[in-house]
Chain A
Amino acid sequence: EDKVVQSPLSLVVHEGDTVTLNCSYEVTNFRSLLWYKQEKKAPTFLFMLTSSGIEKKSGRLSSILDKKELFSILNITATQTGDSAVYLCAAAGGTSYGKLTFGQGTILTVHP
């Protein structure tokens, strides 16, 4: 059965800190790894990664994929209170071209 595991489950930091969120996956016929940010509403798409070692960046957020070790990390530098959210990792693969398998999420709290 496909599985995605995120760590830590929760993280509390102060503004300006840098955080690293982890995601490991076991998905047959893996195709891509996605990161979403979820505040008290729908998950918002951040990144999709398909190739190992290629960093994707968007402002203070960056992410990289390691297909050999089956994990991805999401980095957030110079955190702000607006970064407080649940960060979800999801993997696409298998015989389905529809299903995303999500991790449990990491709850990030940024204090002023």
Chain B
Amino acid sequence: DTGVSQDPRHKITKRGQNVTFRCDPISEHNRLYWYRQTLGQGPEFLTYFQNEAQLEKSRLLSDRFSAERPKGSFSTLEIQRTEQGDSAMYLCASSHLGSPDTQYFGPGTRLTVL
């Protein structure tokens, strides 16, 4: 399977704990995106990378959130001091520079903060 992969698929944590999610994009895609989706809503943009450079961050991305893509391949999204409001599906997508708008999504990581 050469699609976007994410790990873990599910994460349950207690409020105040830190969590980290990983995303592996489609191999030839140099753009990588993070979105958050809550129940009954469409995905909301969080941030994106072109290669290793983080080019845009949404104001939704508070200072408790940080994303990295150190070698321009996989990316991690870390949430520090989790809150119940962080419970959501975190989706990763990737696209090729030649067609940046056509984004292909991974299966997502469902986070539940107790």
Contacts and interface: CB of A to CB of B under 8 A. Distances in A.
* Contact-size category for B: 20 to 34
A102 B105 CA distance: 13
A75 interface: no
Contacts of B105: 36, 42-45
Contacts of A36: 105
Contacts of B41: 104-105
A96 interface: yes
Contacts, number: 67
A80 interface: no
B45 A105 contact: no
* Contact-size category for A: 20 to 34
A41 B107 contact: yes
B70 interface: no
10 contacts: A41-B108, A42-B105, A44-B105, A45-B102, A97-B100, A98-B48, A99-B48, A99-B56, A100-B101, A105-B42
Interface of A: 4, 31-32, 34, 36, 41-45, 48, 88, 90, 92, 96-105
